[in-house]
Structure formats: C-alpha cells, structure tokens
Amino acid sequence: MRIRALDSIRGLLLLQMTLDHFGKPISHYLYQCFGFFSAAEGFFFLSGFVGMLAASSKSAKDPTQSWMRWRALKTWRYHAVTLLCLCLASCWFLPRVAYLFNSLHRHPLAGSLWSAVLVNTPEWLDVLPLYVVFLLLGSFAFPLFVKARHKRTVFMLWLPSLAVWIATQFGLRDAVNSLFPAWICHGDFDPFGWQFVYFTGAAVSAWWKLARTEDSRTSALAVTAVQKSTPALLAVLLFCFLWSHQFIPIELPAAALVDKVAVGPLRFANFFVFMLTICWIVRTWPSLLDFRATNVMGRHSLDVYTAHIVFIYLWMSTPNSIRYHAPWNILVPVAACVLLWALAKAREPRVKQ
C-alpha cells in the first residue's frame, strides 16, 4: 500500500532538484533552503524508507526481494540509454557539453566498459548508478530487516552502514578511487557516504513498523517519545536554518562537517532532524503534504528524474545570453517542471470506463 504523502514529498523533491540544477536565480532561493542539506538527501532517504515498506508488503510472495534486482536492472537500462544518447548528442549537436564526456571521447572502449559497470559517471549522470547499487545491496539487506523481530536487531543491521559512513569521512572513497585510472569521472556523490542516507531510511521504516506491531504499551511509549521530542527537534531545525543562512552571528561550520560529497556529520544530523519533523507532520496531518500534481511525479520518479537529466543537458547547451538572463532563466526551468509533470501524467495507467 502506497502512502500518498510520501509520493507527494518525493515529487516535491524532484521539482526542487530540477530547479536547483537549472541554476540561478531560482536555485539561489531553493538550494539548501532549510539548512545545511539539499533535496537530494530527502530523496535518497525516502527511497530507502519507501523501499523498505514495499519489501515488507511483498515479503510473503517474494521473500528474496527479487523485485529489487529487477528494479535495479530497469534503472541501469534507463541510465545506460541516457548516457549513450547524451554522449552521442554531445558529439553531433551539443558541443557545449562535450567536455563532460571527455572520459568517453578519449577512451571510448575502456570508458564504455567502466561506464557499463557504473564506475565512470559524468556529471548529473551519477545518481541513477547509485540507485542501481543500493537496490542490489538492498535486495540482500532488506530481507534481513523484514525478518527482524526486535528493534535492537534493526539497530545491529544498520551498524555496518554507519561504520562505512564513518570511514568515508576519513578518505575511504579516495582510497578506493585510487585503484582506478585517473581519467575516470566518479561523479559528485560518494557512494560510501550516500548509502548511509538510503539505509538509514530503510532502518527507520523497519524500526517504526516494529514499534507499531509490538505490544500496545511499547508502541505507545515509542509514539509518546517521538511526540515529546518534536518541540526540541523544531528548535534545532530553526537554529540550523538561521545558522546556515547567517541570520545569527556565528561562524559557519568547517567544510568537512557539512560536506555534500561524503554527507558530513552536521549535514546528516541537520537533515535527519528535518526528516523527523516531516514524519511528525505526516503522522499528525496526513493530507497536509499530499498534493495531486507532485503525487503523480513521485509515483513515476524514475521517468521524471531521467527526463530531468536530459533537460539539464539541453539547458547547459544553450547560449549564455539565454541561460544567464531573464526571462529565460526563469521561464525555461518552470516550463521544464511542467513538462516533467506532463510526462508523469502520461505514464499513469488509463482507467477503463
């Protein structure tokens, strides 16, 4: 069973990511607008959270979660086709973005092989590969979460993800990347850091499911604890918002603490508080964040995200006189969002009369 509010929130995050990627002036107001984190964290977290819900509901008919491997294959196909088309387009009629594919243009055979195994990922083409990897890993980890009968077990299953995230704060990614040729483009997202966001979403989903199914007293205590912590969470969220936007005279934190590539500790903590607040809102007012337009986009997130990549590359290929000047730098991003909604709407199955 799908939770409409979660699909709506995913749709909102897709819209925000799209507008962020189109650049200023809109991104000036939207990027990291709630604190030291971006819409990407929310999308990864909700993907793990919703994936865990799906794994629980499908566990009886599909205990090995093979649907996740099929989903990974589908995502890989979307990525491969998009990468191939954009690379060819950069050679033929999008020369402004050709530099983004230097790894493939200069090393066509080796670059293609490394791209096929999701190691070489040009800019804006590095998110779908992460989902492929996380889905494959999830197909082995999620059945363990589903079988967990105690919240402590969920916590123990989550610890390896925490350990990898801690290691990546001390250069794990650089150590692994040094094993590959120097010309490979590894993308902006550190998979060892961002897996933590994804699997934390899955762990929270599994933990909450257990809290609801345990005896009524334990469940009531869990709900009460979350409700009582909400005012403190709101206070922390407000403080981080004011701090990140320099509304209070405190020096900004060290770059490593809010690093986007590896998901720095303060960045993750700020985001997690935000997500707990959103969870409280969804539980208290289930329909408050349910919007029909973004709901349909959230249900077809793979199609929408892939199309948004194409739009961004087309936008990057336009002359500077359009990209950096009004009204085009406002009208075009808004038109792209409308087209993404139309694509999602077209993907909806038709209801027979």
pLDDT above 70 covers a percentage of the chain that reads: 95
Q: CB-based contacts of 318: which residues, under 8 Å, 6+ apart?
A: 96, 328
pLDDT at 221: 66
- The pLDDT of residue 352 is 42
pLDDT more than 90, % of the chain:
82
Nearest to 304 by CA among 82, 23, 27: 82
Q: For residue 218, what pLDDT is reported?
A: 59
Does the pLDDT value for residue 2 go beyond 50?
A: yes
- Determine the Cα–Cα distance for residues 123 and 20; give it in Å rounded to an integer: 14
Q: Which residues contact 219 (CB under 8 A, 6 or more apart)?
A: 211, 212, 213
What was the pLDDT predicted at 268?
97
pLDDT tens by residue, 62-106:
999 999 999 999 999 999 999 999 999 999 999 999 999 999 999
Q: Distance from first CA to last CA of the chain, Å, rounded?
A: 24
Q: Report CA Rg, the chain.
A: 21
Identify residue 292 by its one-letter amino acid code.
Answer: R
d(CA 11, CA 220): 32
- CB distance 92 to 308 below 8 Å: no
- The single residue listed with the structure tokens 């990468």 is 83
Confidence tier at 151 by pLDDT (50, 70, 90):
confident
* Confidence band of 353 (pLDDT split at 50, 70, 90): very low
The answer to whether the CB of 274 falls within 8 A of the CB of 237 is: yes
On the question of pLDDT at 121 being above 90, the answer is yes
Is-contact 115 96, C-beta < 8 A?
no
The torsion region of residue 107 among left (phi > 0), alpha (psi -120 to 50) and beta comes to beta
pLDDT band per the 50, 70, 90 thresholds, residue 284: confident
pLDDT, residue 280, reads 83
pLDDT(229) > 60? yes
Structural domain spans, the chain = 4-347
- Higher-confidence residue of 287 and 165: namely 165
> Quick one: which of 344, 259, 315, 291 has its CA closest to 18?
315
How many CA atoms within 13 Å lie on the side-chain side of 278? 21
- C-alpha of 350 from chain center: 29
Whether 351 has a pLDDT exceeding 50, the answer reads no
Q: Please tell me which residue, 219 or 260, carries the higher pLDDT value.
A: 260
Q: How many whole angstroms separate alpha carbon 336 and alpha carbon 315? A: 10
pLDDT in tens, 129-140: 999 999 999 999
CA atoms in the 13 A half-sphere facing the CB of 13? 25
**What's the distance, CA 170 to chain centroid?**
23
- The pLDDT of residue 283: 80
Name the 3-class secondary structure at 257.
helix
- pLDDT for the residue 211: 77
Q: Tell me if 187 sits within 8 A of 129, measured CB to CB.
A: yes
- Are 156 and 65 a contacting pair, CB within 8 Å? no
pLDDT at 258: 97
Q: What is the pLDDT of residue 266?
A: 97
Lowest mean pLDDT of 48-52, 86-90, 282-286, 314-318, name the range: 282-286
Neighbouring C-beta atoms of residue 47, cutoff 10 Å: 21
What are the residue ranges of helices labelled H in the chain?
4-21, 26-30, 39-58, 66-92, 102-106, 108-116, 127-147, 151-168, 172-177, 191-213, 216-244, 265-284, 292-299, 301-316, 320-323, 328-347
**Residue 209 predicted with pLDDT over 80:** yes
